[in-house]
């Protein structure tokens, strides 16, 4: 975490990724191709699966009725569709993209500082745990 945090702090924010994003944005994609790219990106995103599984393990027990489980599943699906639709609508707007790209260095620095702090806390807690044992 500390290593990644330091890398984020040192990032200039004006890297080759912006050029790649701009080049990809210039490509003309059919709606079908864009949909399948987004769909595959989400399906192959392990974090999304782990998040959903963690929610279900907290909310659903063997005694939970099937209709309640179906309501939970439907809610997660609808909220996911709504979220990604909002993200797609807003982030395809050139003005909003420009704002995000202009704030990118500050976002990276803030994330880097948070990662460093979490890494230090993890190290300190591990050291304290070892000292107790």
Of 121, 79, 111, nearest to 11 by C-alpha is 111
Token digits for 12?
């200039």
Give the tens place of pLDDT for each residue, 22-67. Answer: 566 566 778 788 888 888 887 888 887 787 778 778 878 888 899 9
Rounded average pLDDT over 90-114: 85
């Amino acid at each position: 975490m500390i290593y990644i945090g330091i890398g984020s702090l040192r990032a200039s924010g004006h890297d080759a990724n912006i050029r790649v994003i701009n080049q990809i944005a210039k490509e003309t994609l059919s709606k079908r191709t864009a949909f399948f790219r987004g769909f595959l990106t989400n399906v192959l995103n392990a974090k999304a699966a782990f998040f959903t599984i963690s929610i279900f393990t907290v909310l659903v027990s063997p005694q939970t009725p099937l209709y309640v489980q179906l309501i939970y599943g439907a809610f997660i699906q609808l909220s996911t569709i709504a979220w990604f639709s909002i993200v797609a609508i807003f982030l395809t707007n050139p003005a909003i993209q420009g704002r995000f790209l202009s704030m990118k260095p500050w976002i990276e620095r803030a994330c880097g500082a948070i990662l460093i702090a979490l890494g230090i806390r993890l190290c300190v807690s591990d050291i304290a745990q070892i000292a107790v044992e």
